[in-house]
Structure 1
Amino acid sequence: MAFASPKADGGEAAPMSDMNVTPLVDVMLVLLIVFMVAAPLMATGVPVDLPKAQTKPLNEQKPPIAVSIDAAGKFFVDQAEVAPEELIYVLGQNAESKDRRIHVRGDKAIAYGKVIEVMGLINSAGYTKVALVSEAPGAATPSPAASTPAPAPAP
């Protein structure tokens, strides 16, 4: 609370009843800026100089097993052709555990049901990480048949 000073004519002035809040606002703005700058620094955690160890990574990822079905309906595990009834047996030889990733690649000329049938067969054998592989829209390579122009229709 502020008090009035005596008047120049020697009389006493009435006391002022309002408070000067300018220093309070200045302090609050400085605190706001300090907290805005310090908040991201507190979220990153405490800087710690970690020791180095000579160990393997804990989660060693092996490449997935590729099961392919070509346009003729033949089955392939990685690059080797297998009979449909031997597919699960060959997968068991290639995968050390049922948690190994398996990518199913089906030719676009075969029926969708055939791909789903193969995925169901692999899943029913206990393999849980089965995925379909497709080609990205921009990564398609033109086939030789697509590069030859089509003949013009006869008039």
Structure 2
Amino acid sequence: MPRKRAFSAPAGPAFDAPLSDLNITPLIDVMLVLLVMMILTLPTVLHKVPIDLPQGKAPPSETVTHPLVLARDGTVTLDGVGLSDAGMPARFKALDADPKALLVMRTDPEARYARFDAVLAEVKRAGITRLGFAGNEAMVE
């Protein structure tokens, strides 16, 4: 007696013809991938960085520049006169009170960063907001 197969497709012209239906599974997969990519990239495209621009009156037309120089050995001079650590707060407060004063800081490239940070902290404690940095010409491209 011949053995029967567990599964056999019926023979005939209807089953030998190629499938004419479109397989949409890959199409759905591609559409889902595109949808996920769009969802992930839209927040970065629409992201805005808030910038707090100064509002108010224009700076004084005539400014008086006060050079603050930090030397390689850590000594500080303001307007060409040596400045001690104890005298910094009083001199910086006087500069902050003058509306035409502009403090321009020039630091030797070989100066210690800790010293630069300490001097800049004194400037900040005095409340000086009109501050510029000189000597960065080498950094400009």
TM-score range (shorter-chain normalised) is 0.3 to 0.5
TM-score, normalising length: structure 2: 0.48
Q: Which structure's residues are more often strand, by fraction? A: 2
Which protein, 1 or 2, shows the higher relative CO under an 8 Å CA cutoff with sep ≥ 6? 2
TM-score, normalising length: structure 1: 0.44
